[in-house]
Amino acid sequence: MRIRSLFSALLLAAIATQSFAEDKQFGMKEENPQVGTMLKREYVHGPLPFDKTYEELTPQQRAEFKSRYVSLGANDEPPFPKNGLKQLYMVIQKAQTKLHSDGHLEMQVMIGADGKATEVAVYHSPDPEITRVVAQLAMLTPYKPGKINGVPSAMAFPIDVDFKVGLQAQ
């Protein structure tokens, strides 16, 4: 019996996985299919489209993401990666294929009024190395700052990722 791939299961990722009412899931597929198949597997999925900026999300998607922030008013907006979630999760997936982490990562990235990350708070980590990689990536990612009454404000951006590693025997 031969192990074909250490990373054969899905990397289940999403910010705000717990409280979304919308059942629709969005995904990203691997760039190249695994050896022996022409099918590209979905390696990341979550309740928000990965290729949309905050402004491109539907009003319902924005409202559902915003619901993670208890104290935001009607004219307030949470921070969000400036170019959407895709680049962030593509790099997380590439790190996962090398590190093979298994478990839940929960962190918050503090975003300044200028859209730059200032610090990362880690609440749960499956592995110190994947946490280091994701924290560094989060610090380098440009963000749309949060807004309170239309004024850019410092605010936290949540990152919740469930890493799953599977084995495929041949």
Q: Is 126 helix (H, G, I), strand (E, B) or coil?
A: coil
Please tell me the predicted confidence (pLDDT) of residue 35.
Answer: 65
pLDDT tens profile 67-117: 999 999 999 999 999 999 999 988 888 888 889 888 999 999 999 999 999
Handedness of CA 144, 87, 98, 29 (dihedral sign): positive
Residue 44 near residue 28, CB atoms below 8 Å? yes
Residue 152, C-beta contacts closer than 8 angstroms, at least 6 positions apart: 113, 114, 115, 145, 146
Please tell me the predicted confidence (pLDDT) of residue 29.
Answer: 56
Please tell me the predicted confidence (pLDDT) of residue 165.
Answer: 75
Which residues does the chain have with pLDDT short of 70? 1-24, 26-45, 166-170
Q: Is 130 helix (H, G, I), strand (E, B) or coil?
A: helix
Please tell me the predicted confidence (pLDDT) of residue 94.
Answer: 86
Which of these, 14, 16, 36, lies nearest to 26 by C-alpha position? 14
Where in the chain are the domains? 12-163
